[in-house]
Structure 1
Amino acid sequence: MARPKSRRGGRVTPKGTRGRTSQRAVTGRHRPVPDDRTTRELAMLVADIEHCIDTHDDDDLIATETAVSCTIGMHLTSDWNPFGVRAPAVLAHAETIGSAAGGVIAAGMSVYGPSASRQRAQQVLDRLGADGASVPPWATSLGAAEAVGAVKLCDEWDEYAAVVVDFARPDGSVHEVCASLHPFGWGIAHDLAVTPAGQSAPRLQEAGLVAETIALDAAQELLARGLEHLDEAIADWWDNDLDLDADIDLRMLVGQRVEALPSAERTCEGDAIDDEDVAERLADVVGGFVDLPFPLGEHKEDLAGLVVAATMFSQACRDPDVLRWTPPRIETFIERFLPLWDADDDLSGYDPFAEFGEPGDGFEFSGERLATIDSAFPRWLRYVAERRGDGPETLEQNLAAAKASLRRLRVKITGSPIPLAAPRIQWA
């Protein structure tokens, strides 16, 4: 769904719709007069919902749910949409127009709207039905689905992963919700899909992921956390170039399905992550490495910068364990994160979806700095492997990945695969 970068006063409709300006007169009880922007937004919401009603296919409720939920999401204020209309104003307008569109808006809000407004939305829907509004029968089927199973698909290192949850409708049909979890972007949920059952797993298995059955509450935890990070990315989307259109279309529908999953019970206060504990552990890991003897020829300032970058990168991973390194993680760190990382900006400029580009000025790759990285990063891998207790096979895989990625980085920066003379070991 192509949209303008800013929706302030703009036009937004779900993919495949043709919005029409509603000419319906607004009557009813006295209500606060909305401002011009809110009036336009509500008119567009009604027009878009009317189009959903006109194009509804009785045989494709997934498409209908997608259109209705997307339309509501794009016109409703939320954590990721700062330019919508607040829920009370949406429901007041739905009740005022007293039409099929008003009923569908109320029905959609009772399912996809903020939890605090859903009971009120159901009341509006019931009142409109009692008053004779021709609400389509399918409106009451929105959101009617029960989770019946979940699988997690992941690579051999449990870095690249996706979650697929099957949902059964009252009519016996089954569909699935699928989301990939970005391994090096905070576990952000992306590539959202809602399709008939059985479509996602074969595609993901062809990509090398292996499926394992997981509990529904485990799926809920992974997806809920991923959607939180997606919301943060979408909130930034209005003013940047992130390609999240397809995920925005499905955000409300997938969110509703995830909310319907059982949540894992938290019985221990220790389950919460203490930021001070994390900072203390990171300081211990970094300090332990930097205090070790290092080869003559390495620059301690460059060494410290490398290790700080490694710890910052680990905090952007789905699994933020600073001691855990895998071949995919090493490749991403060396070839995508490190060349663009700026210590002054921390992670503010890091885009997990960006392709490998030209090295930036943040790390300022000189020949000496690159030589320090060539020498120090394998030592870092040996250090964290020892502290974590990794076996020799894991270490060898990581060292091989580092060698290959450092070679590609060197070619990217210097045009030559030949490194500078390796620093000589100086243990004194």
Structure 2
Amino acid sequence: MTRPKSRHGGRVTPKGTRPDKRGGKPRLSPEARYCLELMEASAAEFVASGPDADEADRWASGVQDFVAFPKTPVGAQPTHVLDHARELGGAAGAAMTAALAAYGPSRHRATARWQLEQMAAAGDAPPWATAVGSAAPVEAFLRRDEWGEECEVTIHYERPDGSRHGLAVEIGWFMGGAARGLHLVSERHGLASTGTGRTGVEPVSLADARALCMRSLDVLTVLASRTIDDAEAAELQDVLGFEGFELGFLTEQRLGLLPEGGSDGALFVSAPPDRSALLDEFTQAPRPSSEGDAEFSNMMAGLSLFGLLCRDGDILHWTPCRVDTFVDDFIPGRSPTDGPECLECGEAHPDTFDADFVSTVESAFGRWLRFAAEHSESSKALLEENLYTAAESFGYWRAAASEHRGERVGVPDLWLPRAS
């Protein structure tokens, strides 16, 4: 109960309030009353746990799912939340008020802060409630893995009492560099713990940290805002693997405290490099007779799309993690051969385990990795690792083909994110 389901992941609560024909506050509907009851129950359970300031921030951000916002008018109106919190009183009422004061709709925050001050003066607001949302940015760091692919921007903030916490935004290399997760790092766990497994750490300005985080979140927003069916939704969840939606409101508030005018050039490119001439050169080069023409064309089309989906948009840049994703998850469902008729839609789809396609891709992709290494210093340095990863991944693909021969297990087409 203390961590409500985020509206970003789908909402089951009906719409909230109806306008009062006589003017004034909207009339409280049964649905909105239900949201208030859930919010109150969550607050009561939360305050009973004896939270600290970090836990209060997490809860206050996640509980906004019960509140109606201008762009998402589902839930209880802020005026009703504040009235209910005032009537409830005590630590639970202060928690509800503090949540709106820090992360609620902007035009209601001042009223909520005033109410919180009144509750604090009356002795109803514990110290952690008055600290919700209080943060001053201090410094920021960019961490990268050994290949410079998976990255994380961590911003350190200081509260009025001198304690620190960190907001960490994970940024992936795939799907245009969409954000992969949000984390609030407590000082007691050690802010340095966000760098576990990372090999490269560099300080960045607060303005650049904001630009990097906003760019990755913008890409995620574009992807998540698409009208998608259930199959695409499942694919999106698998590809992005996002964690931390409940921290969305906190993240918006914390990033808003950072200065503007920074650059996202440390991770993002203004435009992907033009590799069309090299693609033509590779496509027109002599090929082994064992490689099928249709199979080769489909692989090259998939290769081009995959390159555009990478954060740098560079089809020549390959690392073991890119090789693994391409062979295991991206290319298998792009065979030109149709599998058996789908029982759900009655149509045939590409055959994931087409033996001719597997053979052609294994041969052509190995040649491509060597070709890319000849034209890219970064790929040249990792060529042996890339070839080893490819061989290992093709082994898994062939094993799956033997186990599921004749069974269609297609991979849905991924889609390109628009420019953020």
TM-score (norm 2): 0.71
Matched, 1:163 2:156: no
Paired residue for 1:366?
A: 354
Structure 2 gap segments, 5+ residues each: 15-21, 337-347, 404-420
Residue from 49, 59, 63 that aligns with 2:55: 63
**Bigger CA drift: 172-181 or 186-195?**
186-195
Give distance in 1, aligned partners of 2:380 and 2:185.
42
Residue from 41, 47, 56 that aligns with 2:35: 41
Matched, 1:212 2:209: no
Aligned residues: 367
Give distance in 2, aligned partners of 1:319 and 1:284.
18
**Bigger CA drift: 393-402 or 369-378?**
393-402
Aligned 1:279-428 pairs, distance under 5 A: 281=274, 286-340=279-333, 362=350, 364-390=352-378, 392-414=380-402
Give distance in 2, aligned partners of 1:391 and 1:69.
42
Matched, 1:32 2:32: no
Paired residue for 2:125?
A: 136
Please report how far the alpha carbon of residue 363 of structure 1 lies from its aligned counterpart in structure 2 after TM superposition: 5.1
Paired residue for 2:108?
A: 120
Q: In 2 relative to 1, CA 36–250 (structure 1 residues): closer, same or farther, beyond 3 Å?
A: same
Indicate if the aligned counterparts of 2:173 and 2:310 stay in contact, CA closer than 8 A: yes
Please report how far the alpha carbon of residue 407 of structure 1 lies from its aligned counterpart in structure 2 after TM superposition: 3.2
Paired residue for 2:179?
A: 188
Indicate if the aligned counterparts of 2:169 and 2:179 stay in contact, CA closer than 8 A: no
Indicate if the aligned counterparts of 1:93 and 1:102 stay in contact, CA closer than 8 A: no
Please report how far the alpha carbon of residue 63 of structure 1 lies from its aligned counterpart in structure 2 after TM superposition: 0.8
Matched, 1:92 2:79: yes
Paired residue for 2:144?
A: 154
Deviation per CA, 1:193-242: give whole Å up to 9, x if none.
Answer: 4322663534643x353333232233223322333455567779996564
Please report how far the alpha carbon of residue 334 of structure 1 lies from its aligned counterpart in structure 2 after TM superposition: 0.7
Q: In 2 relative to 1, CA 159–238 (structure 1 residues): closer, same or farther, beyond 3 Å?
A: same
Give distance in 1, aligned partners of 2:314 and 2:279.
13
Paired residue for 1:346?
A: none
TM-score (norm 1): 0.70
- Specify the SS of the correspondent of 1:281: coil
Q: In 2 relative to 1, CA 74–233 (structure 1 residues): closer, same or farther, beyond 3 Å?
A: farther
Give distance in 1, aligned partners of 2:39 and 2:229.
19
Give distance in 1, aligned partners of 2:45 and 2:371.
61
Give distance in 2, aligned partners of 1:224 and 1:156.
24
Paired residue for 2:163?
A: 173
Please report how far the alpha carbon of residue 51 of structure 1 lies from its aligned counterpart in structure 2 after TM superposition: 4.4
Residue from 6, 9, 14 that aligns with 2:13: 9
Residue from 53, 57, 64 that aligns with 1:72: 64
Matched, 1:247 2:251: no
Q: In 2 relative to 1, CA 129–220 (structure 1 residues): closer, same or farther, beyond 3 Å?
A: closer
Q: In 2 relative to 1, CA 210–264 (structure 1 residues): closer, same or farther, beyond 3 Å?
A: same
Output the amino acid matched with 2:284. Answer: D
Root mean square deviation, CA, Å: 4.2
Please report how far the alpha carbon of residue 158 of structure 1 lies from its aligned counterpart in structure 2 after TM superposition: 0.5
- Specify the SS of the correspondent of 1:153: strand
Please report how far the alpha carbon of residue 281 of structure 1 lies from its aligned counterpart in structure 2 after TM superposition: 3.5
Output the amino acid matched with 2:60. Answer: V
- Specify the SS of the correspondent of 2:201: strand
Give distance in 2, aligned partners of 1:42 and 1:282.
56
Please report how far the alpha carbon of residue 330 of structure 1 lies from its aligned counterpart in structure 2 after TM superposition: 0.7
Give distance in 1, aligned partners of 2:62 and 2:169.
17
Q: Percent identity?
A: 24
Deviation per CA, 1:121-170: give whole Å up to 9, x if none.
Answer: 21354267569887626444221112222222222210122232221111
Give distance in 2, aligned partners of 1:267 and 1:319.
12
Indicate if the aligned counterparts of 1:298 and 1:372 stay in contact, CA closer than 8 A: yes
Paired residue for 1:420?
A: none
- Specify the SS of the correspondent of 1:217: helix
